[in-house]
Each structure stands twice: as C-alpha cells, then as structure tokens.
Amino acid sequence: MKTYQLGVMYGDGIGEEVVKATLDVLKAANQMNDLVKLDLEVLPMGLKAIDEFGHPLPEQTKEKLSKKDGWIMGPHDSAAYPDRFNEERNPSGELRHHFDLFANIRPAKSVKGIKSLVNDADLVIYRENTEGYYPDRNMYSGVGEWMVTPDVALSTGVFTRPAIERIARAAFEAAMTRHKQVTIVHKANVIRLGTGLFKEVCLEVAKEYPEVKVNDFHVDAMAAHLVKRISDFDIIVTENMFGDILSDLTGELVGGLGLSPAINANHTQAMAQAVHGSAPDIVGQDIANPVGVMLSTVMLLDWLGKKHQDNHLIDLAKKMEDAILSALEKGKTTPDLGGTESTESFAKVVINLLN
C-alpha cells in the first residue's frame, strides 16, 4: 500500500472554511478505503503566514511541497497583503512558476440538479500555465512588463516551442482517453507570430495522434461557440490568458465558479486549486460553497492514481465525486446555488452519502 504525501494550505478568506470541509470529506472517504494511505501536512500560506513568518509563501512551505506528491491550495487574497508584496508573484503564481506546473486543467460539466445556462456540457480546458501574456511567470528572472514612461506600458507575451509541445501533448493524451477530439484556440489572424506558433506547434503534435479529430478557432469566435453549442466540444487546448478567460466563461455557463475545479500539474506533482477567489465579503458566515475545492481534490486524487497506476486511489476519487454530485442532484446546496446548506452541513451531507 503506497502512502501519498499531500500538503494542505488553507489560504485566505473563505479558504479556512472550504478547505476544512474538503478535508472532512476526504478523511471520511479515506476511512472507508483502507487500501490507500494519505499523509496530510498543513503548511503556512497567505495572511497568517505573513503574520507568523513575514511572507505569504515562506521558503519552508516551498521546501516541504517539493517533497510532496501533491497539495491542496485554498484561495489567497493577495490584494489585502501589505504593499511590499505588490512586486512579487502571488502565492498561486509563485507555486506555478517555482514548480513548473505547466498544465492548468479545468473541466466544465453540466450537473444534474444545478440550474445552468447551457445543457450537456462535458469538456476540459488544457491551459498552458507558464508563459503567454502573464508577466508574473513568463520570464526566467523578473517579470515581462515594464513602464517606458509614466504614460507608456509594455507587456511581453512569450511563446516557446517546448512549452507549447508539452501542453499540446498533455491535451492529446487526455483526448485519447475521452472522445478523441481536440480544439486548438488561438488568435493567429492578428497575433500571427505568438499565437500563430501556438497553433502551428499544436497541429504538429496532432500528427502523432491520427485517431484524434482536430479543429481550431480564434478565441473570440470560440467564446461565442461555447455559449451557443458547448456540448460540441471535448478537449480544448490554448495559451495562458485565453485559457484563464475561457475557463471562467465555461464555469459560469455550467452553474458558477463555486462549482469549478482545477488542478495545476507538471510531470510529477499536481496542485488542487479551485477557480474561485477568497470571497472576503462572506468570510465567517459558513455559507461559502466548498464544491470547487472538493472537486479539485477529486481531480488531484484521480491524477495521482493514474500516474501511479493505483486503482484504489482512483476508486477513492470516484467515490468522493459521486457523493458530491449526488448531494448537488438532491438539491443539498449552499445559498449561492439557491440552497439552504451551510459550508459545514454540506460536507456532512456528502459524508453521509459516501455510505
């Protein structure tokens, strides 16, 4: 029986509440499956880490994470950090950069019992996570934007063949396990060199997967297609900023960002991190929706299970997911989804359904 070492960072705002609810469900599910051992270690991150260690992401946290199989990261509220941290990457950006978590994987799936703007959605966005137009992680040292004068700002987008190849290959590998369909999203008609290279390299990788059907769209057209016919898409691969925007769109289309899970992965480690933020306006009210973090944790367990060919861990992830989705289908939801469950009581509902 393999022991999986997992880090846990509660983060800021509602992080304490939604991560705790997630851990309650995870521990209950693990107790029912004694063929998997999870070793959880809570690590400092966020405002509390600043108070105790002088930094929102202490070096000791990164050192310990380097020895973990994966970790669960709650939301952070970097806007509330002292001004001296304005020039640094926020904790999420720093972890993605430091551990080269090149694949941001964000599914969007219609859920029974949840009111949504579309029907029959079941897609996954593979977002390149290390370069593109996000200046906090597209340079080896420093950031990729600067002020020439007080009235002129320059931002650099970075696109490299190795980074495009690995996110494309991850997307096509995923497609082989699903419906064998990949959509490449770019803006090669205008950003001809940068996103043009992204499109070209993805099409080159596609030749390695002749069974996969491939198409491509400009990002603006893709946004319209997702609203009009989201069920036609399966795996979407795109660059950093486009992927961030489109995944927020698909999350809202299927019910809201409170439901939206994600993981950030390299070849050996993965970080579970929900799409939503820290929601400081509802902190302490016990009404935050924990589903995004719960389903992100499910994704983490499933990713680790497949990586280590551990069917017991895959089964644990599936049991958790089934219980969460069953709770939603029964209408046992938090107020943001029209329900009356609290963060804590929703976790209890899920734990009861695990049985």
pLDDT of residue 87: 84
CB atoms within 10 A of CB 3: 10
Which among 34, 112, 140, 151 is annotated as catalytic?
Answer: 140
Per-residue confidence (pLDDT) for residue 310, from 0 to 100:
96
User: Residue 344 has which token pair?
Assistant: 């804590």
**At 353, is the pLDDT very low, low, confident or very high (cuts 50, 70, 90)?**
very high
77, 136, 216, 244: which is the annotated catalytic residue? 244
Span 228-235, average pLDDT: 98
Tokens of 7: 């880090």
Catalytic residue, chosen from 39, 115, 220, 330, is 220
Catalytic residue status for 4: no
Mean pLDDT of 52-68: 98
As a whole-number percent, the residues of the chain with pLDDT over 70 amount to 100
> How confident is the model over 150-198, as pLDDT tens digits?
999 999 999 999 999 999 999 999 999 999 999 999 999 999 999 999 9
Q: What is the mean pLDDT of residues 71-98?
A: 94
37 has catalytic annotation: no
Cβ contacts of 285 within 8 Å, gap of 6 or more: none
Out of 68, 187, 319, 332, which one is annotated catalytic?
187
330 catalytically annotated: no
To the query of whether residue 220 is one of the catalytic residues in this protein, the response is yes
pLDDT confidence bin for 355, thresholds 50/70/90: confident
Whether the Cβ atoms of residue 109 and residue 254 lie closer than 8 Å to each other: yes
Which residue out of 24, 248, 315, 322 is catalytically annotated?
A: 248
Mean pLDDT for the chain overall: 96
Length of the chain: 355
β 103-109/263-265 pair status = antiparallel
pLDDT digits (tens, 9 = 90+) for 263-304: 999 999 999 999 999 999 999 999 999 999 999 999 999 999
Annotated catalytic residue 140: yes
